[in-house]
Amino acid sequence: MVKTYPWTALGFETGDALQHGQQAIAYRVRRATDPPDQYAYVAKKLRRQGDDDRRALFFNEVESMRVLEHPGVAKLVETNADQYRDRSVQLFIITEAIVGTDLEVAAKSGTVSFNDAVRITLGVLDILRHCHARGVLHRDIKPCHVILRDNSPIDPVLIDFGIAYNAESQPPEAETKEGDARGNNFLTGPEHSSGNPIHTRNVVTDICQCLGLLFYAITRQYPRSLRDTDSKKPHEKYSIPRDDLPPWKHKRLIQIFDVGFEWEPNRRWQLIDRLIHRLESLLNADEAVDPDSQLEIDSLVLRAKTSSSTARMEEAQRMASGLVEVVREAVNRIKQRVDKLQVNFGQGGGGFQGIIVAWTVSLTNKIASANSKAVQFVVSLSASDKVEVAFKIYTGHLKALPDNQPYQLGSFDLGDPECYETVRPLIETFLAKCVGEALGVDEDT
């Protein structure tokens, strides 16, 4: 009896099995109408068909590939992954077959020159630029996932979107669970630690792993971790061969890795186009002046601007600006609705004792000036990197601030997107009390 597969009914015949991955079993396949020896497609069948999370991840891989139209991504031919919620369906995907050698094999064979390594990296970066523009993060970049079509360094293909993040249509079942880690052992950083599912959902990690491909193609070593037990970066642990490189190229390459392999994501290369520009210069026969400024200076400036302390303060200032706008909106509503008060909102103070911004809300009673009130809205950064938000007394006495003690609105982690909506009702309630006091109609009157 001829063995059947989920794709048999669609007119595909199955050939040899390929190297299996953790998630799926792969085979060469051809249409029944194709020549007997022409297996132009690859079929993958999900391994753990009874696992709902695996089925959702398989569907997510297909959805990610559907939105991509780049020669560096295998074309999707057939699939039934849309039925991932029906356990009775054996899920599969068929793509075009990519004929060529993967980067891991090519590099080990010694056939990848320095210029080839740069060209391959540039090709993968171009694929990533296309992916990121469509909301897809690969998150599993490593040498065996890059196939050199027809063994050409100028035609790399990025495969295996099995743990990709798809911003447009990620099914809930495919979300990273608490305690899980996403990534691989090729190159890891702090964002790959378990329990932090959001951290690998950024373009910077993809860019960093892509530079890992360049490092591997040159050294034939897995970079593994951005920081080893001696706090060394990969290119500091494994020296970069310099015999065949002009001194300026070797120096520039080290500078590229210095930034690309920083431990903290916000200190690495953030933009693909800027990195592409730097790598392209390595293909020049002679050293050229960088039109954006010399790379060494540019690298130092970039790292200075995104140093750990500076990056934290910049994020705190961004959050503070957003919080100020929440107060401004509430103040403007008071201006529009309470004509008996002259309402002002202006900046005053800040920049000392951890205070980022301090803005004053003054409510002047046009008829009974003795009732006028003023309060200060303060955002500060604590020693533990918490953004503290509070109202404090400015002049006089406020029943809304018993014993003149600050009214704490909240303490938030840097980058917390929920802070604005959390404090909004608290701000409006507090300011309503202040308005009542300024009008002489507060609750205790």
- Tell me the chain's radius of gyration from C-alpha atoms: 29
Domain map (residue ranges) of the chain:
1-97, 100-306, 312-439
Average pLDDT, the chain: 86
The backbone torsions φ and ψ at residue 146, rounded to the nearest 5 degrees and listed phi first, read -120, 115
CATH class of 100-306: mainly alpha
**Burial zone of 67 (CB within 10 Å; 0-12 exposed, 13-18 middle, 19+ buried):** middle
DSSP 240: P
* Closest by Cα among 166, 135, 210 to 56: 166
DSSP 8-state assignment for residue 218: H
Lowest-pLDDT range of 15-29, 172-186, 408-422:
172-186
The answer to whether residues 25 and 44 touch, using CB atoms and an 8 Å cutoff, is: yes
pLDDT digits (tens, 9 = 90+) for 87-106: 999 999 999 999 999 999 99
- Report residue 299 as tokens: 């690298």
| Residue found under tokens 């600050």 | 406
pLDDT in tens, 112-159: 999 999 999 999 999 999 999 998 999 999 999 999 999 999 999 999
219 close to 240: Cβ distance less than 8 angstroms: yes
Cα gap 209→188, rounded to integer Å: 8
pLDDT tier for residue 350 given thresholds of 50, 70 and 90: very low
As a CATH number, domain 1-97 is 3.30.200.20
Q: DSSP character for 437?
A: H
Q: Considering only residues 252 and 20, tell me which one the structure prediction assigns the higher pLDDT.
A: 252
Q: Is 294's pLDDT higher than 70? A: no
The token pair at 275 is: 């990195």
The partner residues of 26 in beta bridges, in order of sequence, read 44
Q: What's the CA gap between 163 and 201, in Å, rounded?
A: 11
Lowest mean pLDDT among 96-100, 252-256, 347-351, 429-433: 347-351
Owner of token pair 């070797």: 250
Q: Which residues contact 166 (CB under 8 A, 6 or more apart)?
A: 60, 63, 64, 67, 135, 136
Indicate the pLDDT class of residue 190, thresholds 50, 70 and 90: confident
On the question of pLDDT at 180 being above 60, the answer is no
Q: Which positions ≥6 away from 312 have C-beta within 8 Å?
A: 381, 385, 414
Q: What is the pLDDT of residue 356?
A: 86
pLDDT-derived band at 289 (thresholds 50, 70, 90) equals low
Q: Confidence class of residue 351 from pLDDT cuts 50, 70 and 90?
A: very low
